Amino acid sequence: MNILKNKYFILGNILLLLAVIPITLFVISRQTNLQSKAAPTTIFSFTPTTVNTTVGETFTLDIQIDPGQNIVSIVEMTVSVDPEKIEIVSLNPNTNVFPVELKKSQPNPDGTISISLSTTNNVQEAVQEITKIGTLTMKAKAATTTGATIVKFDKPLSQALSLATSDGATENVLSDTGTAAVTIGNGGSTSTITPTPSIVVSVSPSPTSTQSAKPICESLVLSGGQSGVAPYSLTFGVSGQSPNAKISKVSLNFGDGTNQEATSSGGIGTNTVSIQIPHTYSNPGVYSAISTLTDTNGNTSDTVICTKTVTVSNSQAQADTITTGPSPTLPVTGSVETTLAIVSGLIVAFGIGIFLFIL
């Protein structure tokens, strides 16, 4: 009788294990899937990247999104300008793509405006290619004496949310943001001075000051995002302008011991440039890429805006997680599910063997 009871006791425990262990492995598999992420590749930018206007004039910039590999459903952004030079008039969304306005601020006295927009819940209508988000309307308030004033995104207050199955519901996939440079002239003030003969004398010192004006590197945008797996190939998009002399070359220090100079195409030889320069990082590491513009007077641009950090991971450590996120220890979903299926099968086979042995 005791033997029979022991058999039923052992059998009951085996059946319990056969039920609990696969359920536990399934839960672990689901948690691993939820931790998977797609690499952030979304970029916000302005079009055009350079504007020439005069005091009192109204001008516009289109705000664009390049989702890269993401599927973007919600965008949120704060745009800022120098309130001494520019007044923000309005920010009107592209309702054909973003019909839902989640929130929107009025233009603030500090030169900022914020907006949050959404597509519909249909993933087919989410943004999967370069698309216009909206139009920013501004008014020039005061002349820019040296160079241009910059219109930019406040990146910590901006984000893009994706509908991709590999992305978390609240995962920010915004990788980079661009800028626009606005040069503002005095407008009609020159027409009153031209008839005066004395201007010939007073104008002579002004070339000295303008010749020393530096060119402006307005934006350095990375296609594919600021992180990847070695060998990591990407394209650097450099745009800028010179208020006085023509731009003679665009230089890029990739931070890995290599440099490249562009001396033709992309507007080089004029006052405005927009050029694409490809590069491949062969080894893992953290690199600081810096772009500079040089004009025909030998002046070079500041590097504050056009500096980006590029993080390249080890190819072997990250080979299984290239599309699933930055965590080096997470395997891809398929590998996890295959492993768990094998383990579950072995457990079930072992349990059946014990069950037959007892009987």
Q: What is the pLDDT of residues 42-95, one digit of tens each?
A: 999 999 988 999 999 999 999 999 998 889 999 999 999 999 999 999 999 999
Q: What is the DSSP string of 115-163?
A: EEEE--S-GGGSB-S-EEEEEEEEEE-S--SSS-EEEEE-GGG-EEEE-
Lowest mean pLDDT among 20-34, 60-74, 140-154: 20-34
Strands 227-229 and 307-313: parallel
Q: Which residue has the tokens 């120098």?
A: 82
For residues 215-244, one letter each, b for 16 or more C-beta atoms within 10 angstroms of the residue's C-beta and e for the rest, the string is bbbbbbbbbbbbbbbbebebebbbbbbbbb
Better-predicted residue by pLDDT, 16 or 128? 128
Q: What is the DSSP string of 52-100?
A: EEETT-EEEEEEEEE-TT--EEEEEEEEE--TTTEEEEEEEE-TTT--E
pLDDT at 314: 86
The sign of the torsion formed by the CA atoms of 78, 80, 83, 85 equals negative
Report the alpha-carbon distance of residue 95 to residue 83 in Å, rounded.
Answer: 28
pLDDT at 344: 66
pLDDT at 7: 64
Are the C-beta atoms of residues 37 and 65 closer than 8 Å to each other?
no
Whole-number average pLDDT of the chain: 79
CA angle 325, 312, 164 (to 5 degrees): 25
Residue 234 backbone dihedrals phi, psi, to 5 degrees: -150, 170
**Distance (Å) of CA 342 to CA 16, 22, 25, 279, 346:** 19, 11, 11, 42, 6
pLDDT at 36: 45
Residue 260: which of 285, 300, 290 has the closest Cα? 290
CA angle 238, 244, 249 (to 5 degrees): 35
Better-predicted residue by pLDDT, 285 or 208? 285
Q: What is the pLDDT of residues 243-274, one digit of tens each?
A: 888 999 999 999 999 999 999 888 899 988 88
Q: What is the pTM of this model?
A: 0.56
The DSSP 8-state label assigned to residue 227 in this structure reads: E
Better-predicted residue by pLDDT, 347 or 119? 119
